């Protein structure tokens, strides 16, 4: 049976996905692995520059960066989510695509900006959105993740 959706609920649900994405990125920027695990599925899959083209499953790969890089070297960072586009995939699923700009200061005090293109797949479980999969192209999550700065 088809279900009629109130057109005014779509903008609110899209805003929920944008907000969940902002919370997730804030967890990454601050090195908050506990917060990250609450907003990501334990079987999270990803393609990202740090994985060198490999599909990563689970949170252990990401924990290495939280433990050793994120939040430690990146005190002066500012991240912006630009041009977010949300696809609602039903009542409890959505996909967001956006540009992520990260400004940071290197060890010499020089300001830099890096860009990545990200897509995240979200699923609502028990009234909470959880990230199930993401794909990031371009720069690594942290400007310090690959030891280049």
Q: Distance between CA 129 and CA 38 in Å, rounded?
A: 10
Q: What are 56-98's pLDDT values in tens digits?
A: 999 999 999 999 876 665 567 889 999 999 999 999 999 999 9
Which residues have a Cβ under 8 Å from the Cβ of 83 and sit 6 or more positions away?
98, 99
What percentage of residues in the chain have a pLDDT greater than 70? 83
pLDDT-flagged residues of the chain (< 70): 1-10, 70-75, 140-149
pLDDT at 5: 40
Q: Distance between CA 28 and CA 47 in Å, rounded?
A: 16
- CA atoms lying within 13 Å on the CB side of residue 140: 18
- CA atoms lying within 13 Å on the CB side of residue 79: 24
**In 22-127, which ranges are E strands?**
40-47, 56-57, 77-88, 93-105, 111-125
**Domains assigned to the chain:** 10-138 (3.10.450.50)
Closest CA to 39 of 22, 61, 56: 22
Which residues have a Cβ under 8 Å from the Cβ of 102 and sit 6 or more positions away?
77, 78, 79, 80, 113, 114, 115, 116, 139, 143
Answer yes or no: are the C-beta atoms of 131 and 122 closer than 8 Å.
Answer: yes
């Amino acid at each position: 049976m088809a279900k009629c959706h109130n057109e005014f609920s779509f903008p609110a649900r899209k805003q929920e996905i944008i907000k969940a994405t902002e919370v997730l990125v804030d967890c990454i920027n601050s090195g908050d692995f506990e917060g990250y695990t609450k907003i990501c599925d334990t079987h999270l899959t990803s393609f990202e520059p740090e994985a060198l083209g490999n599909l990563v499953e689970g949170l252990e790969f990401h924990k290495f960066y939280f433990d050793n890089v994120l939040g430690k070297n990146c005190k002066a960072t500012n991240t912006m989510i630009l041009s977010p586009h949300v696809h609602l995939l039903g009542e409890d699923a959505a996909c967001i695509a956006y540009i992520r700009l990260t400004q940071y200061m290197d060890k010499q005090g020089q300001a830099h900006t890096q860009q990545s293109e990200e897509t995240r797949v979200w699923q609502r479980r028990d009234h909470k959105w959880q990230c199930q999969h993401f794909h990031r192209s371009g720069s690594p999550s942290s400007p310090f993740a690959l030891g280049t700065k």
